[in-house]
Amino acid sequence: MIEIHQGAFGDEIFAACFAIRWSVFIEEQNVPVGLERDNDDETATHFLALIDDIPAATARAVHRSPHLIKLSRVAVLKPFRGQGLGETLMKAAHNAFPGTDFTLNAQLHALPFYTRLGYRAEGAVFDEAGIAHRHMVRLSASTR
């Protein structure tokens, strides 16, 4: 059974989210620790997906303006990939902020995933932490 929980900086939800991020970004993708951890952690809403009570995926949401949320640090642990968990997690984040526009920076391999969730790519490919990304936007129904 999949459960999605929300947490804040310093709580046990955040600790579980950061453990997933460490595994995916730092160990698997070789992102430097100093780039993975930033000041947005302190103000973000952190989402944790559990499968049968096991931490499996995470994302964070940061308010950039009253009607704009930046989603980032979306990560699914290897054993749980390909099971629809990322989509469930993203939909929970979208539902937590109704009527809001969303933005994110997507690794190139993830563009089709985010496109299926209603995002559109904007601008050129850019480097973030040594990984090629594109900026993406998802407008709420009220601003489409």
Q: Residue 63: phi, psi to the nearest 5?
A: -70, 125
The answer as to whether 104 is a domain residue is: yes
Residues in the chain: 144
* Strands 68-76 and 101-107, bridge-based pairing: parallel
pLDDT at 99 over 60: yes
The answer as to whether 81 is a domain residue is: yes
pLDDT band at 127 (very low <50, low <70, confident <90, very high): very high
Domain region containing 53: 2-138
pLDDT at 58 over 90: yes
**pTM for the complete prediction?**
0.94
pLDDT of residue 47: 98
pLDDT band at 111 (very low <50, low <70, confident <90, very high): very high
Tokens of 121: 């790519």
Please list the residues that pair with 50 across neighbouring strands.
3, 55
pLDDT band at 144 (very low <50, low <70, confident <90, very high): low
The answer as to whether 60 is a domain residue is: yes
Q: Share the mean pLDDT of the chain.
A: 95
The one-letter code for the residue type at 48 is L
pLDDT of residue 132: 97
The answer as to whether 129 is a domain residue is: yes
pLDDT of residue 11: 97
The answer as to whether 144 is a domain residue is: no
Task: Estimate the share of the chain in helix, then strand, then coil, as percent rounded to the nearest 5.
Answer: 35, 40, 25
Q: What value does the mean pLDDT take over residues 97-114?
A: 96
pLDDT band at 140 (very low <50, low <70, confident <90, very high): confident
* Per-position b or e across 9-30, b if 16+ CB within 10 A of its CB: beeebbebbbebbbebbbeeee
- Concatenated DSSP letters of 10-64: TSHHHHHHHHHHIIIIIIIT---HHHHS-THHHHPEEEEEEETTEEEEEEEEEEE
Q: How many domains does the chain have?
A: 1
CATH at residue 68 = 3.40.630.30
The answer as to whether 107 is a domain residue is: yes
The answer as to whether 115 is a domain residue is: yes
The answer as to whether 143 is a domain residue is: no
pLDDT band at 143 (very low <50, low <70, confident <90, very high): low
